[in-house]
């Protein structure tokens, strides 16, 4: 892989207490204040980072499927000469669900009652995205710790202690 794609795959997400609290607060507000039945933030690999409300599917299934759906839609979109898919919606008899790909490459998924049209949830989703995106960007750009530098002497010393 080249360029930004390789860089994005290799970035780390550092989940701090502050990040978790921020994600939880944004999702809880989406459920409590804006009428979402459930909301979740899914890391680009399929790891569930946070959720609120009560959805019709298990959180682990949701997380794995959301990551796969965005990867598949993005690949299809690129084959058709389009850019990356950033939002898609599903309206059915039991829910109106919106999937948003965030700038960080992670996803926000929110499900509403089917009677809530898009125009009623757009502002709430934009507000949640405005709260969540900077948190995830900061968590990814915080950088990884440099790790240990081992030279021959330190390796011998460490192995000698085993």
Residues 6 or more apart whose CB falls under 8 angstroms from that of 44 comprise: 8, 67, 70, 104, 105, 106, 107
For the chain, the structural domain boundaries read 3-160
Of 8-17, 18-27, 45-54, 103-112, which has the strongest mean pLDDT? 18-27
As a 3-state breakdown, the chain gives helix, strand, coil percent values, each rounded to 5, of 50, 15, 35
For residues 21 and 158, what is the distance between their CA atoms, to the nearest angstrom? 38
**Residue 88, pLDDT score:** 82
Superfamily name and number for 3-160: Dynein light chain 2a, cytoplasmic (3.30.450.30)
Say whether pTM exceeds 0.75.
no
- Higher-pLDDT residue of 40, 142: 40
């Amino acid at each position: 892989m080249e360029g930004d794609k390789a860089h994005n795959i290799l970035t780390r997400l550092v989940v701090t207490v502050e990040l978790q609290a921020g994600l939880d607060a944004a999702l809880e507000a989406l459920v409590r204040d804006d009428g979402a039945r459930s909301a979740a933030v899914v890391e680009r690999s399929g790891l569930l980072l946070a959720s609120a409300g009560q959805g019709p599917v298990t959180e682990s299934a949701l997380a794995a499927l959301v990551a796969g759906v965005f990867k598949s839609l993005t690949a299809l979109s690129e084959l058709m000469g389009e850019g990356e898919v950033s939002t898609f919606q599903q309206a059915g008899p039991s829910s109106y669900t919106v999937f948003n790909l965030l700038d960080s490459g992670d996803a926000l998924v929110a499900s509403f009652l089917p009677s809530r049209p898009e125009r009623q949830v757009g502002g709430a989703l934009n507000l949640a995205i405005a709260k969540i995106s900077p948190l995830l960007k900061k968590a990814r750009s915080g950088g990884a710790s440099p790790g240990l530098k081992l030279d021959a002497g330190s390796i011998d010393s460490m192995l000698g202690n085993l």
